[in-house]
């Protein structure tokens, strides 16, 4: 599957989950903010900054390792999934409770894709640095 197709698949899947939750009448929280419900009054700015950062990281990812590229695919899919909800409904539907979070926290599948993507990018960065250090030391 091509990266663009995979990102679209993730976005459509995350949007599909929120539609299913809405239709089944499951408990859900409408999140008008970004990043764990923060910046509720600045969600437009927060989203714009997030997309700008994601675009910049993507532009620099040409020769990065696979975990970084896969992480970017997940992040684009998650960002598009949340953006669809934000454009259609003015908020993002969160429906997965995180019980151990102080004060309560709800996520959705798109958020999980964003978190997984960020972790994959960190792993790819760590992996690339480790490989560079190994090559500098002259090890195979």
Could you list the active site residues? 94, 111
The secondary structure of residue 15, as a DSSP letter, is: H
> Is residue 32 classed exposed, middle or buried when 0-12, 13-18 and 19+ CB atoms within 10 A define those classes?
middle
The alpha carbon of residue 70 and the mean position of all alpha carbons in its chain are separated, in whole angstroms, by: 11
Provide the token pair at 62: 């040409």
* Residue 128, C-beta contacts closer than 8 angstroms, at least 6 positions apart: 64, 65, 68
- Angular region, 26: left φ>0, alpha ψ -120 to 50, beta rest: beta
Q: How far apart are CA 84 and CA 81, in angstroms?
A: 5
């Amino acid at each position: 599957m091509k990266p663009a197709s995979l990102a679209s698949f993730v976005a459509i899947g995350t949007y599909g989950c929120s539609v299913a939750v809405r239709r089944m009448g499951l408990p859900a929280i409408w999140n008008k903010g970004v990043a764990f419900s923060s910046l509720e009054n600045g969600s437009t700015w927060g989203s714009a900054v997030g997309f700008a950062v994601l675009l910049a990281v993507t532009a620099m990812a040409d020769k990065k390792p696979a975990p970084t590229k896969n992480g970017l695919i997940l992040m684009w899919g998650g960002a598009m999934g949340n953006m669809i909800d934000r454009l259609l409904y003015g908020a993002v539907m969160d429906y997965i409770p995180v019980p151990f979070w102080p004060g309560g926290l709800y996520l959705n599948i798109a958020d999980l894709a964003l978190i997984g993507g960020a972790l994959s990018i960190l792993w790819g960065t760590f992996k690339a640095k480790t490989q560079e250090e190994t090559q500098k030391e002259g090890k195979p």
